[in-house]
Structure 1
């Protein structure tokens, strides 16, 4: 247990410091003085990060690892992972996860590989994942389910419920595949910055998503992949970007929106239209 901080550092890829006893005490763990053989080589210089003021309502910021294409849903959300080296992650890591990581390392050192596998599953069940980055570096990361804040998209599938709770069959959606493809192309393999405002009833983090200085919601609106959810977000720039796409007939604006239904412009309004769901991007 005395090597707890060093075990975390192995996954964090961050050197120990002179404050090791205090850090261990913070997590309620005993301190064992480091021997010469256990000395950790400091090879990384960590620059000071100056964080600009966040927009009003932002609770915290996430800096993600590269987004895996397989973690992007049907255009309505994605899963992101944040390295535990981030200060907020280290501070909020549950004690049971810390203990499990230590036990996993001890099991591996003792060659109890079945036990190590079981402990690893418990860490994953707690919302963490052992990942290998493109540069082959192994890291421990925290899993987040992300919902883009306050815009709407046409999805590939739908499930309609009436008052009796009966589900209708899934059907193909107008422009759903194209919108999904745009979102995948924009964030796949990218390290994102996410300003989180709150969580929804499903436990998903609701926020604004950026890649470098590119605002993802802005790009989706301008390309006509989504529409502005005015009932919950009255940012004037959202309305402006949507108007630009609508005037230019981009993306979903090739179709008319009529009473919750999407109708191709060339289709006679008396013909039966395709019904499309309107779901918040997760």
Structure 2
């Protein structure tokens, strides 16, 4: 369970007192129920003010926008619950189930982090409940201290702290004028092998992948890790399968040594028949053979 889930779980089970056990609280919940679920009052306040609890930022490393997304989803789930939670256990269950369904990963992609047509580096916001539980304590502290150093205009210390964060595989990035802590992942597109940057069509493949993913909402399904420490997975951009685009445009090979999916073979066959992209050449060099030749000095 992520930090955000643990915090909200503890909060919704925290007792509060009330003098009128028969009065109605937010969303039609009795005051007796509110006394065992401070979360209900927070959700009621959020509906009115659009503000998350003031102390939330002291416990989680995430943007205000992400925190508001959590509460918006929780508020909707609370209203839709029939009946609404009436015990600490029911309230905690609603928090867990709602935030585990939270799929907004806030993926930021830098065009410079696309070295070729089959590899990208992405930064995933630690506001995602699946990420928040994995952030090392020293990285969390460095992010908080960096923010304070920047507020104090101590930019030298802020830069030093950011270097520490980057060396740990994280980075502070700006998304819609808000700074968020994000974890870096190197992603190898599963099942394809694009020309290297110095090969024919290597530049075109890299440019196509940048155009495809930059500024888009990415959904990535990771299957394994390769020997270079990259996550091997399928990448979808606003619902578009990246590997399909690269194969159909003739900007990648089906990497049959590692992936036998029939649909990938079909898309490559279609591109070959149309002689698009690298298939305009009658005998394009395979990137894995090109790399082998370079390793062996040929």
TM over 0.5: yes
Q: TM-score, normalised by structure 1?
A: 0.65
Choose from 205, 208, 214 the match for 2:234: 208
**Which residue matches 1:268?**
none
Choose from 276, 282, 290 the match for 1:277: 290
**Which residue matches 1:97?**
139
**Which residue matches 1:237?**
263
Alignment of 1:1-282 (within 5 A): 17=8, 19=10, 39-40=54-55, 43-44=68-69, 45-47=71-73, 48=98, 63-105=105-147, 113-133=155-175, 135-157=176-198, 173-257=199-283, 260=285, 277=290
Q: Any idea what the Cα deviations from partners look like across 1:99-146, whole Å, max 9, x if unmatched?
A: 33344456567775543432222112111111112x212111111111
**Is contact 1:75-1:179 (8 Å) kept?**
yes
By percentage of residues, which structure has more strand?
Answer: 1
Say which SS state the counterpart of residue 141 (structure 2) adopts. Answer: helix
Where relative contact order (Cα < 8 A, 6+ residues apart) is larger, the structure is 1
- Identify unmatched segments of 5+ residues in structure 2: 14-52, 57-66, 74-97, 293-298
**Is contact 1:192-1:210 (8 Å) kept?**
yes
**Is contact 2:114-2:121 (8 Å) kept?**
yes
**Is contact 2:115-2:197 (8 Å) kept?**
no
Say which SS state the counterpart of residue 257 (structure 1) adopts. Answer: coil
Q: Any idea what the Cα deviations from partners look like across 1:25-48, whole Å, max 9, x if unmatched?
A: xxxxxxxxxxxxx93488553423
By percentage of residues, which structure has more helix?
Answer: 2
Runs of 4+ in structure 1 deviating by more than 4 angstroms, as ranges, are: 40-44, 105-113
**Is contact 1:220-1:226 (8 Å) kept?**
yes
Q: TM-score, normalised by structure 2?
A: 0.62
Q: 1:116 to 1:179 in 2, by over 3 A?
A: closer
What's the offset of the Cα at 1:255? 1.1
